[in-house]
Amino acid sequence: MRVVCSIAALLCLTLVAGCGSQSTRPGEIAEGSPFPTSGSATVTGDFAGYPGVEPFIRSMQQQGFAPNQVAAVLSGAKREQWIIDAMNRQAPRPSTGPTGAWTRYRAKFLTPDNIANGVRFWQQNEAALNRASARYGVPPEYIVAIIGVETRYGGYLGKTRIVDALATLAFAYPRRADYFSGELASFLVMTKEEGIDPFGPRGSYAGAMGLGQFMPSSFRDYAVDFDGDGDRDLWNPTDAIGSVANYFKAHGWQSGVPVAVRANVQNPATARAMKSGFGSRYSLSELAGRGITPAGSLGGASQVSLLEFDVGTGYAYWLGSQNFYTITRYNHSSYYAMAVHQLARAIAERKGR
């Protein structure tokens, strides 16, 4: 998902368990447009006078918005300094050696409660998960694990108004202004298309929404009406399940292919010197020539990623398939994708699958 900072980052600080109940989209309008038909085209409030505001309003005319409609939304949006501070804390810190970063990260998500709640969520939504798996080729446990990592199965959806998060990052956070301006534009189009009050949806401080924490552009591109009620409602478990599976399929998920297997490494120094991460690509023969072999089947994959994980006493190595790379399209982090993979396996094992 085109997500820079999903709610999983918040969950590293606040751990809330839940199993997600049937819900409805926040701020849904019964009929008509949620945007005004008249009013001033001048922005007041927190974003008045910001240099990016007027160009944004002009650009939205190409999306079918009158200037007064966009101005009304921006005038009601709030600039939240804490969001900027939180984004700045996301900057990567250099490491000079193993510190146990993976061990600590893993421990935040692979907890007994999170595994048990994953089984419970699966049991409560088994019909939708089976249907999504059959349609998109994604095993149920990976759909469940994404929702578990992102929102603790709906237990923590985020409380930030999406319009405040996106406006703050679009106009008061120059480092990523282009990206978040695009997401703010997608959000306004999404609310118009879906008949949602733009001040209604709440989610993460980066603007992600629903059980699967979709950014607005991903909502528009990949959200599906999986329960057939005419709405794409990512606050509803059934639609969220179908949408996560659809997202994976659209980003190259290969049915029946293992996500990752451990690597046997003859010489750790050799592996340490090689390029690693979800963006690396090696043939199995090239890896074998360097003393690195898979500890299990990779389902016929011709190329794999070399994945390195800091376990404190050194580094653990895995080989990732296309499906591992697909998970990183949700969040561009090898640690994130491995946490999803290992949580999925643990949930499936606990369920007896």
Q: Along the 353 residues of the chain, how does pLDDT read in single tens digits?
A: 444 444 444 444 333 333 444 446 787 765 666 777 777 889 999 999 999 999 999 999 999 999 999 999 999 999 999 999 999 987 666 666 789 999 999 999 999 999 999 999 999 999 999 999 999 999 999 999 999 999 999 999 999 999 999 999 999 999 999 999 999 999 999 999 999 999 999 999 999 999 999 999 999 999 999 999 999 999 999 999 999 999 999 999 999 999 999 999 999 999 999 999 999 999 999 999 999 999 999 988 889 999 999 999 999 999 999 999 999 999 999 999 999 999 999 999 999 86
- pTM of the predicted protein model: 0.90
Looking at 1.10.3470.10, 3.40.30.10, 1.10.530.10, 3.90.1150.10, the CATH number of the domain 260-351 comes to 1.10.530.10
Domain boundaries, the chain: 260-351
Distance of alpha carbon 196 from alpha carbon 235, whole angstroms: 13
Distances (CA, A) of 69 to 57, 148, 188, 201: 9, 37, 10, 18
Distance of alpha carbon 33 from alpha carbon 258, whole angstroms: 46
Distance of alpha carbon 102 from alpha carbon 276, whole angstroms: 15
Q: What are φ and ψ of residue 205, in 5° steps?
A: -70, -10
Task: Please choose, from the candidates 271, 195, 277, the residue with its C-alpha nearest in 3D space to the C-alpha of residue 232.
Answer: 195
DSSP secondary structure letter of residue 15:
-
Known catalytic residues are 150
Query: Are 265 and 271 within 8 A, CB to CB?
Result: yes
Task: Please choose, from the candidates 147, 148, 106, the residue with its C-alpha nearest in 3D space to the C-alpha of residue 335.
Answer: 106
In three-state secondary structure terms, 303 is strand
